[in-house]
């Protein structure tokens, strides 16, 4: 019995900041970001959008594209995210409620809904749990959705890698798109390369009162701060990425008895976590060299220079163009969407081959996932003969071309939450209607509606 991804859908916000606009405002050479990192646009949330609306819109598109899959037949609704809006109530429960707004109250009453969090690999964890469930319950179906908003401090080294989006997957037996075929290589280590810690500030610094008096319902002497931007160190995070993916790849080969094989050569294409467009191509050479140690003399004084030379060699660039480049197309137009980045890479690649009318039936593909903190998983799948019929009804690339560019001042107003009115008109999608601020029993409750 085959189990895997039967269908895929997406939601990308309809506004973006051109990378050239950001580069000029920050006195960065635009070609450094475009040619060096592959960046062209970064998708941004409008004021009436959040990770819940993106997830719900992606799931709703998935169900509309697959009318034979009624919500009542979905046994699991799993969300992968690192952008949760609540420390208790999961995004999955919000999405469940919004889908029921359209299909009827109680249509997902018996659906198990839960979030999975491990930085950018959380949706891969969610998907693999869903796959295990379907293997045990082959008549059931599950939906996995990755939804995230990558936001960094203004003028930081991460600012130009921002992005937003959601990807929804229908997991089933006898899937149309791809079936997973092997054991999963894993590498995990507890590090602080990128994280979003609880932060606090002394109440007295806010109130000017040295006495710990109640303030806005807070009795503690410290006020907790929720900040969407992470704490990170770019070069260290990049090294952690390399350490984890190379180790997970080695583990994948070991547990599947592929020790003597150069497994990457068997993969038609690669789907890697892309925190920025060219991250995959700028790190995958480490795996190629791991499988071809004779290419580098590691004991030589110039070993690092040899590695750099190989990463620019025609031999390696051929691998990049054949196996990685198709996955980068959408990433360069959207930016980092954390848990969804690897699945955006997958959708980008499949859309690329669909546009070329290429036959990739039966081809093996490799997944190289990463989440800071840190963990990598390496696994493979086989493209199924009916893969085109599981793709979104609305072309990803056509939708990205319709995105509205905003100027730098508008971007700043959005980032600082000073923009109060939506920049685009919501049509046939879920939006954030209001956040409760008066009722003491519902403070912070978020309410959504569907705009036709």
At 11-70, the pLDDT tens digits run 999 999 999 999 999 999 999 999 999 999 999 999 999 999 999 999 999 999 999 999
All residues at 6 or more sequence positions from 217 whose CB lies less than 8 Å from its CB, including other chains: none
Q: Length of the chain in residues, anyone? A: 452
For position 431, what pLDDT does the model report? Answer: 98
How far is the C-alpha of 425 from the C-alpha of 422, rounded, in Å? Answer: 7
Q: How confident is the model at residue 299 (pLDDT cuts 50, 70, 90)?
A: confident
How far is the C-alpha of 5 from the C-alpha of 86, rounded, in Å? Answer: 29
* Average pLDDT estimate for 398-407: 97
Q: How confident is the model at residue 297 (pLDDT cuts 50, 70, 90)?
A: confident
Rounded to two decimals, the pTM is 0.97
Q: Computed from CA positions of residues 187, 188, 191, 197, in that sequence, does the dihedral angle turn out positive or negative?
A: positive
Q: Which residue has the tokens 């690339």?
A: 397
Average pLDDT, the chain: 96
How far is the C-alpha of 139 from the C-alpha of 149, rounded, in Å? Answer: 34
Q: How confident is the model at residue 105 (pLDDT cuts 50, 70, 90)?
A: very high
More confident residue, 301 or 411: 411
Q: Which residue has the tokens 């660039």?
A: 317
Domain boundaries, given as residue ranges, for the chain: 3-193+233-451
How far is the C-alpha of 277 from the C-alpha of 333, rounded, in Å? Answer: 9
Cβ atoms of 78 and 108 within 8 Å: the answer is: no
At 361-372, the pLDDT tens digits run 999 999 999 999
Which pair of tokens denotes residue 55?
């997830």
Strand partners, 180: 381
* Average pLDDT estimate for 265-277: 98
Question: 3-193+233-451 in CATH: which number?
Answer: 3.40.47.10
For position 191, what pLDDT does the model report? Answer: 98
At 116-132, the pLDDT tens digits run 999 999 999 999 999 99
Cα first-last separation, the chain:
41
- Per-residue pLDDT at 226 exceeds 90: no
């Amino acid at each position: 019995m085959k189990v895997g991804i039967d269908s895929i859908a997406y939601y990308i916000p309809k506004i973006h900041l051109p990378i050239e606009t950001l580069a000029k405002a920050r006195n960065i050479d635009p070609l450094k970001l475009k040619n060096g990192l592959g960046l062209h646009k970064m998708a941004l949330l409008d004021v009436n959008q959040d990770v819940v609306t993106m997830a719900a819109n992606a799931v709703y598109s998935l169900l509309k594209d697959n009318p034979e899959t009624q919500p009542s037949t979905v046994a699991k609704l799993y969300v992968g995210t690192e952008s949760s809006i609540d420390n208790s109530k999961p995004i999955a429960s919000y999405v469940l409620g919004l889908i029921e707004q359209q299909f009827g109250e109680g249509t997902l009453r018996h659906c198990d809904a839960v979030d999975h969090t491990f930085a950018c690999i959380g949706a891969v964890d969610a998907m693999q749990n869903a796959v295990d469930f379907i293997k045990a319950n082959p008549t059931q179906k599950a939906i996995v959705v990755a939804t995230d908003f990558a936001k960094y401090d203004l003028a930081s080294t991460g600012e130009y890698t921002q992005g937003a989006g959601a990807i929804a997957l229908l997991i089933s037996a006898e899937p149309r798109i791809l079936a997973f075929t092997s054991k999963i290589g894993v590498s995990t280590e507890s590090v602080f390369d990128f994280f979003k810690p609880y932060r606090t500030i002394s109440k007295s610094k806010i109130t000017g009162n040295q006495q710990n008096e109640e303030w806005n319902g807070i009795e503690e002497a410290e006020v907790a701060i929720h900040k969407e931007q992470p704490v990170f160190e770019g070069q260290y995070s990049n090294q952690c990425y390399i350490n984890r993916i190379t180790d997970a790849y080695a583990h994948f080969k070991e547990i599947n008895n592929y020790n003597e094989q150069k497994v990457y050569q068997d993969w038609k294409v690669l789907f890697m976590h892309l925190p920025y467009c060219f991250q995959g191509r700028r790190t995958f050479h480490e795996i190629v060299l791991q499988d071809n140690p004779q290419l580098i003399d590691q004991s030589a004084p110039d070993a690092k220079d040899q590695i750099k030379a190989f990463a620019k060699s025609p031999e390696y660039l051929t691998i990049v163009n054949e196996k990685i480049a198709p996955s980068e197309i959408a990433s360069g137009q959207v930016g980092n969407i954390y848990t969804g980045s690897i699945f955006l890479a997958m959708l980008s690649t499949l859309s690329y081959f669909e546009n070329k009318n290429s036959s990739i039936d039966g081809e093996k593909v490799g997944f190289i996932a990463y989440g800071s903190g840190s963990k990598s998983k390496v696994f493979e799948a086989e493209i199924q003969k009916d893969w085109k019929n599981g793709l979104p009804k609305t072309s990803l690339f056509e939708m990205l071309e319709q995105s509205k560019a905003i100027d730098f001042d508008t971007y700043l107003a959005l980032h600082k939450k000073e923009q109060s009115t939506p920049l685009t008109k919501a049509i046939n999608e879920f939006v954030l209607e209001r956040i409760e601020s008066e009722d003491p029993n519902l403070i912070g409750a978020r309410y959504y509606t569907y705009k036709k």
